[in-house]
Amino acid sequence: MSRVFIITGTSKGIGNALARLYLDEGHTIIGCSRNTTTINHTNYHHYTLDANDEKSVIDMIKEIGRKFKVDILINNIGTTTLNHIATTNLDLVDEIYRVNFRTTFLFTKEVAKIMMKNRKGSIVNISSIAVPLNLEGEAVYASMKSAIEKFTQISAKEFGYYGIRINALGVSPTKTNLIKALQKDKLDSLLSKLIIKDYCEFEDIKNGVDFLISDKSRFITAQTIYLGGVC
Supply the pLDDT for residue 181: 62
Half-sphere exposure of 122 (CA within 13 A, CB side): 22
Q: For the domain 4-226, what is the CATH code?
A: 3.40.50.720
Supply the pLDDT for residue 187: 79
Which residues 6+ apart lie within 8 Å of 42 measured at CB? Answer: none
Supply the pLDDT for residue 182: 67
Supply the pLDDT for residue 178: 66
- Taking CA atoms, 203 is separated from 14, 18, 90, 183, in Å, by 10, 8, 36, 24
Over the range 121-132, which residues count as b (16 or more CB within 10 Å of their CB) and which as e?
A: bbbbbbbbbbbb
Supply the pLDDT for residue 138: 87
pTM of the complete model: 0.95
Supply the pLDDT for residue 136: 86
Domain boundaries, the chain: 4-226
Find out whether 152 and 125 touch, Cβ atoms under 8 Å.
yes
Active site residues: 127, 141, 145
pLDDT mean by block of 10 residues, the chain; 231 residues: 96 96 98 94 97 97 97 93 89 92 98 97 96 90 96 98 98 80 75 92 97 98 96 81
Supply the pLDDT for residue 17: 97
Find out whether 167 and 110 touch, Cβ atoms under 8 Å.
no
Supply the pLDDT for residue 170: 97
